[in-house]
Structure 1
Amino acid sequence: MKLKLPKITRTTLALYAGASGDHNPMHIDLDVAKSAGMDDVFAHGMLSMAYLGRLLTANVPQERIRSYSVRFTSITPLYAEPTATAQVTKVEDGLTHLDLTMELADGTVTLRGTAVIEGELAA
């Protein structure tokens, strides 16, 4: 499974901040990001996690998702165009285990995770 996402823009970050309630200035205020040594603002980690969740729910009914977890491995910079992927690692005891990845065009992996779903994925 793969989901190519649109470019992360300042508007994307502002809309996500409003929807999620996460108004951390590192993600929306250039001056704050620069004062912390960053070149610019960057995407919320939970935004990337939400995109991976969208990949799952676009392919599997939500009620079949038994677990979903991620770890953040790198930031998603402004204007990146991430791609979410899920790869089946095993099917066992009626459960399908997936490895999840959020990757940037340059190969940087920003999230790694796993999910377990009930049943098998449709071919």
Structure 2
Amino acid sequence: MKKHITVEAIEKYAAVSKDKAAIHLDVDAARAAGFDQPLVHGIYVMGLAQSLFMEGHPKQWITAYKMKFQKPLLVDTIAVFNFERVKDSVGVTVTKENGDKIAVGTFLVKELQR
């Protein structure tokens, strides 16, 4: 599943989360840190992965999660989210379109009881 991470989305996330660190919002601060563009908040990536999974699996509930970041994701980039279900666990891999791995993680899930 592909998702374009826009400047506007990161600005909204920064306002809501109150994480307004310059490296996420300011091109000059990102360049001073060695990046071409501001960086996407890691917790935004993890939350987006959870939301995308839940969107496609409305009868599932995430009970635990972990994610390890391998590279930063730059704002105004398309991220690709892949999910692989194995029993009560879902493997999550986040890459850029060119295949560069950004993060890997796991969700523990269970069926909602109705």
TM-score of the aligned structures, taking structure 2 as reference length: 0.85
From 27, 31, 40, the equivalent of 2:28 is 31
Instruction: State how far apart, in whole Å, the 1-side matches of 2:85 and 2:110 are.
Output: 13
Instruction: Say which one has the larger Rg.
Output: 1
Segments of structure 1 that go 5 or more residues without pairing to the other structure are: none
**Structure 1 residues 53 and 10: alpha-carbon distance in aligned structure 2, compared to 1, 3 A threshold:** same
1:1-123 equivalences under 5 Å are 3-5=1-3, 7-58=4-55, 59-61=57-59, 64-89=61-86, 91=87, 96-119=88-111
| Cα offsets for 1:26-72 (capped at 9, x unmatched) | 0101121122222221211111111111023211446x322111111
SS, match of residue 92 in structure 2: strand
What's the C-alpha RMSD, in Å, of the aligned pairs? 1.9
The answer (yes or no) to whether the contact 1:102–1:112 under 8 Å persists in 2 is yes
TM-score of the aligned structures, taking structure 1 as reference length: 0.79
Structure with the higher fraction of residues in strand conformation: 2
Segments of structure 2 that go 5 or more residues without pairing to the other structure are: none
The answer (yes or no) to whether the contact 1:51–1:84 under 8 Å persists in 2 is no
